[in-house]
């Protein structure tokens, strides 16, 4: 597998205190699903924002295999982050509109994304009229409408109830298999990280660092049976231990 992105010695410090992120090295392979797992304050969201270019590192660098253009990175926030005044379809086509894609084409592509997340019938609705899970689907559709090479997800399902979250996990996996993007998924749930990822990076706080990496040896097709299988449970145990050690290692 060829690396899409190499992160070398990436640091971010605010003022003179403990840096939020200190010397992070990470190689991101094309097509993989990487989870960043760690307790709050470990800098996992910060790392995601640095990769997205929303923050500027104070040290180290990001080496992209090929130059990043606008629309190459999709971002899903913890909140659905939809424009409340715009209909679902207009929210989804926003990235294309900003990029100057002609309206007719943008609407077509946005409708195609809405169909993928099962919300075709709600294109004319306003965000307020949707449930939390549906809003998150709209947010996913918007992030995918530019056909990004890299999808960044910042604890997107943390605010949803368990059942909706499991459903959205499956939907996200089928989108990933279908569209073939690379994904970085920030989470604080051991189970979610094992179920979704091909690889897990465990982080620790103060200063934020990656302390362990673990490939997930589950088939790419995952479903209810996966969650009850021995391999899944073994991984959950291992990752829980790693997370515990990571937290223990913090001063």
Partner 1 sequence: MKGMVRLLLPPLFGLLVLAGWEWAVGAFAIPAFVLPPPSAVLAALWRDGPLLLTSSWLTLSITLQAFLLALVTGVALALLFSQSRLAAAALYPYVVALQVTPIVAIAPLVVIWVGYERVNLALLILAWIVAFFPILSNTTLGLSAVDPNLRDLFRLYGANRWQTLWRLQLPSALPYLLGGMKISGGLALIGAVVAEFVAGSGTASGLAWRIIESGNRLNMPRLFAALFLLSALGIAIFAGLSFIQNRLLRRWHESELGRQ
Summarize as ranges the residues that interact with partner 1 (CB under 8 A). Answer: 49, 52-54, 70-71, 73, 75, 77, 79, 81, 83-86, 94-95, 97-99, 126-128, 146
Task: Considering the complex, state which of residue 1 and residue 98 has its C-beta at the smaller distance from partner 1.
Answer: 98
Q: State the Cα–Cα distance between residues 33 and 172, nearest whole angstrom.
A: 11
Burial 226-248 (b: 16+ CB within 10 A, else e): eeeeeebeebbebbeebbeebee
Provide, rounded to whole angstroms, the least separation between the CB of residue 163 and partner 1: 25
In angstroms, give the least distance from the CB of 112 to partner 1.
Answer: 19
Looking at the Cβ atoms of 49 and 116, the one nearer to partner 1 is: 49
Between 76 and 190, CB nearer to partner 1: 76
Query: Which residue's CB is nearer to partner 1, number 86 or number 166?
Result: 86
Helix (H, G, I), strand (E, B) or coil at 195: helix
**Least distance between partner 1 and beta carbon 196 (Å):** 22
d(C-alpha 72, C-alpha 55), whole Å: 17
For residue 71, the minimal CB distance to partner 1 (Å) is 7
The least CB distance from residue 181 to partner 1, in Å, is 15
Question: For residues 26 and 241, what is the distance between their CA atoms, to the nearest angstrom?
Answer: 21
Give the residue with the Cβ less far from partner 1, 43 or 80: 80
| Enclosing H/E stretch for 230 | helix 230-248
């Amino acid at each position: 597998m060829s690396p899409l992105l190499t992160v070398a010695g990436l640091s971010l410090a605010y003022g003179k205190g403990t840096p939020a992120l200190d010397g992070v090295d990470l190689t991101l392979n094309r097509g993989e699903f990487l989870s960043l797992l760690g307790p709050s304050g470990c800098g996992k969201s910060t790392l995601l924002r640095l990769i997205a270019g929303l923050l500027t590192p104070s040290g180290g660098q990001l080496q992209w295999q090929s130059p990043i253009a606008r629309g190459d990175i999709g971002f899903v926030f913890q909140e659905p982050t939809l424009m409340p005044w715009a209909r679902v379809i207009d929210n989804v086509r926003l990235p294309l509109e900003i990029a100057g894609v002609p309206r007719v084409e943008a609407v077509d592509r946005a409708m195609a994304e809405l169909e993928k997340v099962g919300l075709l019938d709600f294109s004319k609705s306003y965000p307020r009229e949707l449930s939390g899970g549906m809003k998150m689907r709209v947010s996913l559709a918007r992030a995918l409408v530019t056909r990004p090479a890299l999808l960044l997800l910042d604890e997107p399902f943390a605010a949803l109830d368990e059942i909706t979250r499991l459903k959205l996990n499956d939907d996200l996996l089928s989108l990933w298999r279908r569209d073939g993007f690379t994904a970085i998924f920030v989470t604080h749930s051991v189970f979610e990280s094992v179920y979704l990822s091909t690889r897990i990076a465990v982080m620790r706080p103060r200063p934020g660092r990656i302390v362990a990496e673990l490939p997930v040896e589950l088939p790419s097709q995952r479903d209810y049976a996966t969650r009850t299988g021995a391999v899944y449970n073994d991984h959950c145990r291992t990752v829980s231990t790693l997370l515990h050690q990571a937290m223990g290692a913090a001063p």
